[in-house]
Amino acid sequence: MSTMVLYFHLVMHFDVSTSANTLTNFLGSTFLLTILGGFISDTYLNRLYTCLIFGLLELLGLMMITIQAYSDKLQPEDCGNKPSCIKGGESFMFYSSLCLLGLGAGGVKGALPALGADQFDSKDPNGEKGVASFFNWYQLSATIGSIIGVTAVVYVGMNKGWHWGFFIGLVTAFIGFIILGLGKPFYCIKPLASSPIIKIAQVIVLAIRNRNLSLPQYPHQLYEIDDKERDASEERVLHTDQFSVFDKAAILREGMKPEPWKVCTITQVEEVKILTRMLPIIASTIIMNTCLAQLQTFSVLQGYFMDPQIGSINIPNASIPVIPLFFMSVLIPIYEFFVVPLARKITGHPSGITQLQRVGVGLVLSIISMGIAGIVEVKRRDQALKDPYHPISLFWLSFQYGVFGIADMFAMVGLMEFFYKEAPSGMRSLSTSFALISLSFGYYLSTAFVNIINAVTKNITPSKQGWLYGVDIDHNSLNLFYWFLAILSCLNFANYLYWASWYKYKEQRTESDDDAKEWNGSHNMSKVEAIQE
């Protein structure tokens, strides 16, 4: 999808910043809609049916954008230096196709990772290792698909027409849709749970309603149901002392019958606590995804003004994203087969290193990538201004792309595994989509940063239009924008270290709470014996 920035710029005639913002808004909306796919697959449809239904919407969106790319009558004419030339029916066709494509892709992405991970029993040691491996292979399969997209499909699109490129994407998506459907008899389909959104709302409402009540002395005095009464899709979560304000939702008043909007179970309260603990982790990865947005927009546009000849190979600038994808496709198997087994022997952790450690490595590498991007842009622009007929090689972009590709391999897979393993069983699709919501906010923040930076810097640039304004990046200050993101990423990493150190994993909470439960049980037994005497 990152190559669509060129389609927006060259075919739909958006200017540089509008092309970048259109793509980041589209990707941001797509990843935000994963929460819808996760919610529906956890509550109303199973994960397979969610993927199939939203997959149909994605196919319809691809069909519409293919038709528009084919017909000149559905495309706007060039209107000079205006940010956008699109209007009327062509505008309706364009934005309708993006809406359907974003809704469909978002729904599929929200349900598919959890569907795959459900095929393993995470309570079994081998199954736990299988879940960790699955997310690595899931990322690898997406990477290989993206490599084909930014090489073969882009080549066809740039040389034979964008409609052929989109048509290949349509056919490929249709084949994937059929293969997914044919696998239905073989999938392990987890039973549906009650609505996670409703359960969260009940805890919040009751915690507010009971805010003036005092908590009981011992946690076991809070309301909980027996395991026999629990749905098969639910697992019991033990009480923790953190965020005790939510515990008031589990206070059963004297004479009150336990009903959904009158009292919550300890498990229900703890599920909300788990999601609350995850929020700082989500927030701490948004800046990294803002950096990713630049590599999918401005860095692609940089390549348009560079020499695409590398040796005897002529690389289309729309295929630049193949560089990080190539690194990822090579490094993921190396990481899975060599690094993880070695790390397991050293740490004893099923995944080699913890999920949050893996994310931390990715954040550090993203800082380095933005620093390199600024340096490369200085070199590119200086050469373009000195001798525009002999631009620097496209190969220079491989440094920032390569480093960020490794960063994405660590951070994204670590996040998806983290949210799946830490989430309650009935919220795993919803929770896994949180990793993609971080991407969504990152893209939206990118759009905001571009607009804010232009507004703030328009009075200090020679053009009086900001660092990133206009159609000619040779007279912009893109390097300063990259370095701004590098500095911001450093501050964000310090924030992440605090929250990652503060977070307690599910197995750590279970161990400590089991000890507390045993102490409380023996304490209460002693109290009963004393009364009997």
pLDDT digits (tens, 9 = 90+) for 139-187: 888 888 888 887 888 788 878 888 898 999 899 999 999 999 998 888 8
Res 508: pLDDT = 55
Distance of CA 12 to the CA centre of its chain: 28
Kindly state the average pLDDT of the residues 423-430: 75
Q: Which of 55-69, 330-344, 379-393, 468-482 has the highest mean pLDDT?
A: 55-69
Question: Which residues make Cβ contacts (< 8 Å) with residue 512, sequence separation at least 6?
Answer: 504
Residue 387 region by backbone torsions, left for phi larger than 0, else alpha for psi between -120 and 50, else beta? beta
Give the count of alpha carbons within 13 A of 51, CB side only. Answer: 23
The tokens 């994407």 sit on which residue?
A: 169
Of 189 and 359, the one with more pLDDT: 359
533 — pLDDT class (breaks 50, 70, 90): very low
Residue 389: count of CB within 10 angstroms of its CB: 5
- With CA atoms as reference, report the closest residue to 510 among 232, 239, 129, 125: 239
pLDDT digits (tens, 9 = 90+) for 495-518: 999 999 988 776 655 544 444 444
pLDDT digits (tens, 9 = 90+) for 95-138: 999 999 999 999 998 888 888 888 887 677 777 778 878 888 88
351-356 — which CB contacts under 8 Å span 24+ positions?
Answer: 351/129, 351/132, 351/417, 354/505, 355/414, 355/415, 355/417, 355/418, 355/421, 356/281, 356/414, 356/418, 356/500, 356/503
Q: CA 435 to CA 420: how far, in whole Å?
A: 10
Q: Check pLDDT > 50 for residue 78.
A: yes
Say which range, 51-65, 277-291, 379-393, 518-532, has the weakest mean pLDDT: 518-532
Q: Which of 42-46, 374-378, 410-414 has the highest mean pLDDT?
A: 374-378
Question: Which residues make Cβ contacts (< 8 Å) with residue 31, sequence separation at least 6?
Answer: 106, 109, 436, 437, 439, 440, 443
Q: Record the pTM.
A: 0.76
Residue 361: count of CB within 10 angstroms of its CB: 16
Of 373 and 127, the one with more pLDDT: 373
Res 515: pLDDT = 47
Task: Please give the class, per CATH, of domain 4-191+271-510.
Answer: mainly alpha
Q: CA 301 to CA 229: how far, in whole Å?
A: 59
**DSSP-assigned beta bridge partners for residue 186:** none
Of 314 and 228, the one with more pLDDT: 314
Q: Check pLDDT > 60 for residue 26.
A: yes
Domain extents in the chain:
4-191+271-510
**What's the distance, Cα to Cα, between the start and end of the chain in Å?**
75
Q: Check pLDDT > 70 for residue 270.
A: yes
- With CA atoms as reference, report the closest residue to 269 among 236, 230, 233: 236
Tell me the CA distances in angstroms from 185 to 49, 51, 239, 305, one per residue in order: 13, 15, 38, 51
28 — pLDDT class (breaks 50, 70, 90): confident
Reading the block at residue 17, the tokens are 């910043």
The tokens 């690094």 sit on which residue?
A: 339
State residue 309 phi and psi, 5-degree precision. -85, 115
pLDDT digits (tens, 9 = 90+) for 275-325: 888 899 989 999 999 998 888 778 877 887 888 887 777 777 667 777 778
Q: Which of 33-37, 174-178, 329-333, 405-409 has the highest mean pLDDT?
A: 174-178
Q: Give buried/exposed letters for 511-528 (b at 16+ CB in 10 A, else e).
A: eebeeeeeebeeeeeeee
Question: Could you tell me if 155 and 319 are in contact, meaning their C-beta atoms sit under 8 angstroms apart?
Answer: yes
